[in-house]
Amino acid sequence: MNPQPVSFHRRISTALADDQLRLALGRTTERFAAKRAAGLASLPDVDAVRDRARAIRLHTLSRLDTYLEQFEAAVSAAGGQVHWAADAKEASAIVLDLARARSVERVVKSKSMVSEEIALNETLIAAGLDVVESDLGEYIIQLAGETPSHIIAPAVHKTREQVGQLFADKFGVPVTDDVGEMTATARSVLREVFLRADMGVSGVNFGVAATGSLAIVTNEGNASLAVTAPRIHVAMMGIERLVPNLDDLAVMLQILARSATGQKLTVYTDLLTGPRRGDPDGPEELHVVLVDNGRSRLVGTEVGEILACIRCGACLNACPVYQQIGGHAYGSVYSGPVGAVLTPSLDDVGPWNTLPDASSLCGACREACPVRIDIPRMLLALRARSVRAGTAGRAVRVGFRLYRWAATRPWLFRRAVAAARWLTELLAADGWVQRLPPPLSGWTRSRDFPVIASRTFSERMRDRAGGAG
Amino acid sequence: MSDSREGILSRIRSGRAGQPESPAAPPIAPGPAGVPETTDLVDRFVREAAGVGAVVHRATRDGAVDLVGRLLVDAGVRRLVSWEPDDLPIPEALDAAVDRGIQLVEPPLPDGAEPLDRDWTTMAAADAGLTGAAGGLADTGTVILRSGLGRARLAWLLPPLHLVLLYAPFIYPTLPAFISARGELVGRSSHVALVTGPSRTADIEQTLTTGVHGPKVVHIVLVERGEREREPVVESVAGDGVDG
C-alpha cells in the first residue's frame, strides 16, 4: 500500500474544494445512514444480535490459528485447495501462477477489498491477462481509470452525469443521465465478459471453518455469475474473515446487509462449498487464497480488535470527516474510520501517521459499527505510537514537549496562561479570536479560538480552598 | 508456500500467547429472533418478498401447474432453461410449459467428473429460468436454491426472468432457523444461494435499478398444501416496487 506522493492535508484541501465530489458524497452518505438505521430497526432484539455478532468475531480471532487449520482441512475435504500468502506480492503471484498453469486468458472479477489491497489487477494486467471488474461501481471506476472511494459503493464520488458521459465515451452510446439506461448498457457489455472468462476472482465475506464454505454477497449477482460460468474460481480472503460454523454465519449475515445498505439480506447470498460435483455448471476448480499481509502481526496487540471488522462501511457513512472529504483523500484502499486504523496498522504507521488524526474522536463510528469495534480507542493508540516512533509532525512533537515543560512548572504555567489571556484579548473581537499568528494560524483558518477565561479553573479552585479554610 | 503457512500460524500463536481466549458466543435459540411462531409465516413471506420486488403468486398444487404455463406465456417466454422435473416441487409444471409450445434449452450435460465444454451460448439465449426452492425465509422474503445434478445455477442467474416454485411448508421464520433445521444442505451442494428479490444495483448515486446482471423479474409461485379440498386458487401479490 504505497501512500500517494501528496500529503494527506493537501488531498483534504483538494477534496474540500471539489464541489462535484461533495454533492455526490452528500447525496449518498446521508441516504446510507438513514437506511442503515431502518434496516437495524427491522431486526427484533437488535442489540442482542449485535452483541452475539461481536462475541463471534472476538472468539474467532482469539483462536484464529485453530480455525484457520480447521477451515483449510474442510476446504480440502470439499475438493477445494487453500493457498497461504504472507504478503501482497505472494498473494498476487499465487493467482498469476494459477492462471498461467491453466492457460487462463480472461479473468472476470467481483468486487473484493483484499484484491484492491494487494493490487491484484495490476499484477494480472501487467502479465498480459484481460481483467474486467463486474460490480457496476467497480466497472465504472475501472473504465475511468480510478480507484474505489467507498467499501461498498466504490463509485460514490461520481455523479450520474459523469457516468453517463463516461459510457458515451467508452461505448459510443448516446449521453444519458438515465441510470436505468446506463445499467442496461453495463448488463449487455458485462454479460459477454462473464460467459467467456476462464477464471472468476472473488472476495469472501465470511469463510466457515467447520464446513469450508465461503459466503459471498452481492446485490447485482455479479459474484454469483463470476463463480459459476468460468472453469476456475479463485477466492481472495483475508485470514481474519472466518466464523466457526454455519449458525454463526447466519448471525453475521443478519447484520451485514442491514449495516451496509439497510437491506434485511443482500439479494444474492452465495454459500459455496467446493467446486461443482456433477452439476451442469459451476467451476471445475476452487482455490482459496488466504492473505495475511500484516494481519497476523496485529493479533493480541492494541489494534487487534480492528480484525473483527466485517467491511460493511457503516463507519464511513457515520463519520463527519468522511462525509466531507470522501474516500480518496485518505490515499489508501481502506478509507474512513476503519481505514484510519487498518492502513497504518497493516502497513506501518510512518507513512500513514496523519490518517489517525482525521477524526474528532466523536465516537459515531463506534456507535454505527455492527460489532461495536472501539475505533476511537485505536485511533488514540496509533496517535500515541506515532509520537513514540518520532513520526508525528514537528509541530505536534515540539508543541507537546513545550507544553509538558511548562505544565510541570506551576509558576511558569500560570505566567504562560496570563500571557495567553492578554494575547487572546488583544486579538479578539466579540470574545473570539478569528486569526491567530503563525505558527497557530492553521488552526484558525476554519474555526475561531475563544478568549481565555478571565479566571482560570485553578484560580477559582484556589479561591474556594482559601475561602473554605 | 508452506513457509508462509507456518509463518502466519506462528505469528498468530505468538500474538495469542498470554491473551485470554474469548468465550464462544452462547447460541441464540433460532425461534424468537425474527418472526414469532404464532404469526402466519406464509403471510409474512409474501409481504417481505413483494417488498423486495418479487412477484408472489399463492396457489394450490393444481392451480400452480396451470399458473406456471400461463405466467411464462404471458411474459412472452419462448425459450426456457429448467431444472430436471424431479427437482421441481411440482414436476408437472415443466410439462405445462412445454405443452404451451415453450422450447427447452438444455444446460450442458454433466458428464460425471469430466470438465464441461462451457459454451453457454444456448443457455444465454433463454428468456426464463424455472427452478424449485429448498426453502423460504419469512422475515426477509428469501428463496433458497441449491445446485446439483439436474439443477443448473445459471437457471436462476442468467435469464431476465426467474420463476421459482416454493412449497409453503418449506418456509422458515429466519435464516438462523433455517440453518439450524436444514444447515446440512449447505455442505451437500457446491452452491447454495439465498435469493432475495431481483438483481439490483444502486452504484450510481444510490439510484435503485433492477436486472443489472441477474434477472430483472422474479416470480415466486408459492404452493400451499392441497390437503384441503378446494378449487385451484391463484392469488398474486406484487409490491409497489422495491422498498430499498
A248 contact residues in B (CB cutoff 8 A): 25
Q: What is the pLDDT of residue B39?
A: 52
CA-to-CA separations, A202 to A20, A234, B95, in angstroms, rounded = 31, 6, 38
Q: What is the predicted pLDDT for the residue at A82?
A: 98
Chain B nearest CA to A352, separation (Å): 23
Average pLDDT over all residues of chain A: 91
Q: Which of B186, B197, B207 sits opposite A211 (nearest CB)?
A: B186
Cβ neighbour number for residue A142 with a 10 Å cutoff? 20
The pLDDT value recorded for residue B226 is: 59
CA atoms within 13 A on the CB side of B68: 33
- Contact across the interface for A228 and B191, Cβ inside 8 Å: yes
pLDDT at position B232 is 54
**Is 60 exceeded by the pLDDT of residue A147?**
yes
Q: What would the mean pLDDT of A56-73 be, rounded to a whole number?
A: 96
Query: Would you say A131 and A105 are in contact if contact means Cβ atoms under 8 Å apart?
Result: no
The dihedral through the CA atoms of A321, A322, A324, A327 has a sign that is: positive
- Report the pLDDT value the prediction gives residue A3, as an integer from 0 to 100: 53
Confidence of residue B18 (pLDDT cuts 50, 70, 90): confident
Residue B239 scores a pLDDT above 70: no
pLDDT of residue A458: 81
pLDDT of residue B33: 47
Homologous superfamily assigned to A43-293: NagB/RpiA/CoA transferase-like (3.40.50.10420)
Mean pLDDT calculated for residue range A246-263: 95
Residues 6+ apart with CB under 8 A from A177: A160, A161, A164
Is pLDDT larger for residue B72 or for residue A428?
B72
Beta bridge partners of A253: none
**Preceding peptide of A439 cis, ω within 30°:** yes
Pairwise CA distance, residues A166 & B73, whole Å = 38
- pLDDT tens digits, A322-373: 999 988 889 888 999 999 999 999 987 778 888 998 899 999 999 999 999 9
Nearest to A271 among B8, B153, B192 (CB): B192
Q: Answer whether the bond into residue B23 is a cis peptide, omega within 30°.
A: no
- For residue A25, name the pLDDT band (cuts at 50, 70, 90): confident
CA distance B224 to B58: 7
- Do residue B189 and residue A284 have CB atoms under 8 angstroms apart? no
Lowest mean pLDDT, pick from A297-301, A381-385, B48-52:
A381-385
Taking the CA of residue A191 and the nearest CA in chain B, the distance in Å comes to 7
* pLDDT greater than 90 at residue B142: yes
The CATH 3.40.50.10420 portion of chain A extends over 43-293
For range B227-244, the mean pLDDT: 55
Buried b (16+ CB within 10 A) or exposed e, A307-322: bbbbbbbbbbbbbebb
Nearest-by-CA chain B residue for A278: B112
Query: A199 pLDDT exceeds 80?
Result: yes
How far is it, in rounded angstroms, from Cα A27 to Cα B205?
7
Query: In terms of Cα–Cα distance, which of A335, A114, A299 is closest to B10?
Result: A299
More confident residue, A151 or A112: A112
Contact A351, A3 (CB under 8 A): yes
Q: What is the pLDDT of residue A276?
A: 94
Residue of B191, B208, B216, B243 to mutate when probing chain A, most A C-beta within 10 A: B191
Amino acid at the residue A68: L
The Cβ-side half-sphere exposure at A185, using a 13 Å CA radius, reads 22
Cell triple for A272: 459455496
* Partner-chain contact A62 B110, CB within 8 Å: no
For residue B31, pLDDT beyond 50: no
Q: pLDDT grade, residue B28 (50/70/90)? A: low
DSSP-derived letter for residue B214 is S
pLDDT confidence tier of residue B38, bands split at 50, 70 and 90: very low
| Nearest-CA distance B241 → chain A (Å) | 14
pLDDT given for residue B74 in this prediction: 96
Question: Average pLDDT of A99-113?
Answer: 95
The Cβ of residue A83 has, within 10 Å, a number of other Cβ atoms equal to 21
Distance CA B223, CA B220 (A): 9
- Helix, coil or strand: residue A373: coil
Of A158 and B9, the structure prediction assigns the larger pLDDT to: B9
Of A105 and A43, the one with more pLDDT: A105
The superfamily in CATH containing domain B46-111+120-225 is NagB/RpiA/CoA transferase-like (3.40.50.10420)
What is the domain partition of chain B in residue ranges?
A: 46-111+120-225
- Tally the residues of chain B: 244
Read off the DSSP letter of residue B148: B
The mean pLDDT of chain B is 87
Phi, psi of A217 (to 5 degrees): -115, 135
> What pLDDT is stored for residue B26 in this prediction?
62
Interface test with A, best of B204, B208, B210, B218 (most A CBs within 10 A): B204
Q: Is residue B199 predicted with pLDDT exceeding 80?
A: yes
pLDDT of residue A13: 87
**Nearest-CA distance from A14 to chain B in Å?**
21
Task: Note whether A278 contacts B148, CB cutoff 8 Å.
Answer: yes
| Percent of chain A whose pLDDT exceeds 90 | 64
Cell matching residue A212: 469450508
Residue A431 is placed in which grid cell?
Answer: 470574545
pLDDT of B233 strictly over 90: no
In chain A, % of residues over pLDDT 70:
97
Cβ separation of B152 and A280 shorter than 8 Å?
Answer: yes
Residue of chain B minimizing CA distance to A183: B212
What is the rounded distance in angstroms from the CA atom of residue A380 to the CA atom of residue A366? 13
Cβ-nearest to B12 among A154, A224, A296: A296
Spatial distance between the Cα atoms of A418 and A455, rounded to a whole number of angstroms = 10
pLDDT at B86: 93
Give residue A149's pLDDT band: very low, low, confident or very high (50, 70, 90).
confident
User: Cβ–Cβ of B196/A158 closer than 8 Å?
Assistant: no
**Of A126-140, A428-442, B227-241, which gets the smallest average pLDDT?**
B227-241
Q: Which amino acid is at A379?
A: L
- φ, ψ of residue A286 to 5 degrees: the values are -125, 125
